[in-house]
């Protein structure tokens, strides 16, 4: 995985790292906690750079945030061709020649049409150029890297 791919991976999972972990303490009190990955140097550096990007390059920051922090929706998707049938369809299989492939639930981002992939790439390049030290994926997220 290249540096830019690792930065994209960190961005991909930033919301999960920020908000996804909760712990039930003793008694009925519910205490929100940051997961251990939040304290990794990579996520600290990413947060520092996202603040700088917003201040120095708001257009790039806008395209980056509308890509990685876009609303999401759950769909049924064909694992073979990644096709998504229309929402009104009640079919649970996708035909490939003579075989049927079962659709699987996936959560997809709903990207606004105004988002330009080249500006998102430019923003990731901007982050890469200013990144202090090495970019690494925290140990807690390594199982997700293996799934990619």
Looking at the fold, whether 54 and 12 belong to one and the same domain comes out as yes
CA distances (Å), origin 91, targets 44, 67, 97, 98, 108: 44, 29, 16, 16, 19
Looking at the fold, whether 84 and 123 belong to one and the same domain comes out as no
Looking at the fold, whether 60 and 123 belong to one and the same domain comes out as yes
Looking at the fold, whether 97 and 116 belong to one and the same domain comes out as no
Looking at the fold, whether 100 and 45 belong to one and the same domain comes out as no
**Which residue carries 């988002």 as its tokens?**
115
Looking at the fold, whether 17 and 65 belong to one and the same domain comes out as yes
Looking at the fold, whether 76 and 66 belong to one and the same domain comes out as no
In 3D, which of 25, 22, 45, 17 has the Cα closest to residue 139? 17
CA–CA gap between residue 126 and residue 60 (Å, rounded)? 9
Number of domains forming the structure of the chain: 2
Looking at the fold, whether 88 and 121 belong to one and the same domain comes out as no
What token pair was written down for 21? Answer: 């972990």
Looking at the fold, whether 139 and 76 belong to one and the same domain comes out as no
Range of the domain at 86: 72-110
Q: What is the DSSP letter of 35?
A: -
In 3D, which of 9, 40, 8 has the Cα closest to residue 146? 9
Looking at the fold, whether 95 and 45 belong to one and the same domain comes out as no
Looking at the fold, whether 35 and 9 belong to one and the same domain comes out as yes
Looking at the fold, whether 11 and 43 belong to one and the same domain comes out as yes
Specify the 3-state DSSP secondary structure of 102: strand
Beta bridge partners of 30: 24
Secondary structure tally for the chain: helices H, strands E: 6, 6
Q: Kindly give the confidence (pLDDT) of every residue in the chain, 148 residues in length, as a single tens digit, with 9 standing for 90 and above.
A: 899 999 999 998 888 788 754 444 444 444 455 677 888 899 999 999 999 999 999 999 999 999 998 887 888 888 888 888 887 877 788 888 888 888 888 877 788 888 999 999 999 999 999 999 999 988 888 877 776 6
Q: Residue 123 has what pLDDT?
A: 96
């Amino acid at each position: 995985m290249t540096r830019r791919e690792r930065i994209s991976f960190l961005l991909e999972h930033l919301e999960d790292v920020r908000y996804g972990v909760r712990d039930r303490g003793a008694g009925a009190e519910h205490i929100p906690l940051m997961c251990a990955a939040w304290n990794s140097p990579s996520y600290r550096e990413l947060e520092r750079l996202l603040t700088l990007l917003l201040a120095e390059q708001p257009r790039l920051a806008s395209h980056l945030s509308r890509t990685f922090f876009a609303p999401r929706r759950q769909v049924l998707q064909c694992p073979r061709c990644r096709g998504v049938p229309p929402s009104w369809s009640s079919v649970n299989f996708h035909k490939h020649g003579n075989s049927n492939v079962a659709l699987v639930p996936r959560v997809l981002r709903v990207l606004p049409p105004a988002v330009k992939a080249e500006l998102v790439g430019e923003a990731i390049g901007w982050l890469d150029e200013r990144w202090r030290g090495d970019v690494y994926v925290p140990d807690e997220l390594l199982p997700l890297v293996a799934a990619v």
